[in-house]
Amino acid sequence: MTISEPVRINRFLADAGLGSRRDVERFVRAGRVRINDHVADLHTRVSGADRVTLDGRELTSVQQHTYIAFNKPAGYVVSRRAQAENEQTVYALLPPDLRQLRYAGRLDRESRGLLFFASDGEFVHRVSHPNHKLPRRYLVQVDRLIGSGGFLFRKFCREGVRDGDELLRARAIHIRDAERCVLDITLMTGKKRQIRRMCARLGMHVRDLYRYSIGEYSLEDMPLAPGDWSRIDPTRVAPGLIVATADPGASNA
């Protein structure tokens, strides 16, 4: 981008899509970043006339970041590389020009629903890091309901569910469809396989787990078919707030 005034080196690196401002500081501390052939430090500022390199590769800070909403199908891992033979990653479902984007909002292989991809390291950090407490909402089909909505609220939200050394809590829970045993669960800090673990400890087996919302962005407001994606207007992305707005014609649906 054309930098109208000097910015800190960590902001420049984050805007180049290398991670959050905190993440990219390790590159600077390791002496891997140079500005006009001089080793940078964390106090260095960058202007539009400066040449910035990482490990000798010239970097360009992007003018406008790319943000993608994606409806993950079950059976795909959220990773750049497959960890096992015959394993498929979500990147296989993106067009080549979007595969350099970073994912935000991990889901396990069996789960499906909303993921984000972005070139903006700060955005990825806000969505992914539990300290930002961005609400995540899920529809969870279990094999049976063990009690009323009040009982489930007490167990999931007030008392919490202990699994080993961890006490797991949800922010909210209610029964969406009693006949089909579908729960609507909200988490603020998602731990690994948290909903599946909580349900299992209470004697319920998860048959289907679908995340339909992160922050203010909801697939219920703007449906995407499994495996489809849509661009998010960058002007609708602000710290702590993601509004469900797509660019017209910018999806693969």
At 3 the pLDDT is: 43
At 218 the pLDDT is: 92
Strand partners for 35? 38, 52
Q: Answer whether 7-58 and 136-214 agree in fold.
A: no
At 64 the pLDDT is: 67
At 4 the pLDDT is: 45
At 252 the pLDDT is: 58
Give the pLDDT confidence of 185-196 residue by residue, as tens digits. 999 887 889 999
At 61 the pLDDT is: 62
* Composition of the chain by helix, strand, coil, percent to 5: 20, 30, 45
**Residue 193: its H or E element:** none
Distances (CA, A) of 73 to 128, 184, 226: 20, 19, 5
At 175 the pLDDT is: 95
CATH architecture of 67-132+215-251: 2-Layer Sandwich (3.30)
Q: Delimit the domains of the chain by residue range.
A: 7-58, 67-132+215-251, 136-214
In terms of pTM, does the model score above 0.85? no
At 223 the pLDDT is: 85
Q: Which residues of the chain have pLDDT under 50?
A: 1-4, 239-241, 244-250
Sheet strands (E) in the chain: 7-8, 33-35, 38-39, 45-46, 52-54, 57-58, 67-72, 102-104, 112-118, 136-142, 161-163, 166-168, 172-177, 182-187, 206-214, 217-218, 229-232, 237-238, 241-242, 246-251
Residues in the chain, how many?
253
> In this structure, how many other beta carbons lie within 10 angstroms of the beta carbon of residue 63?
10
Which CATH fold would you assign to the domain 7-58?
Answer: 3.10.290
CATH, range 136-214: 3.30.70.1560
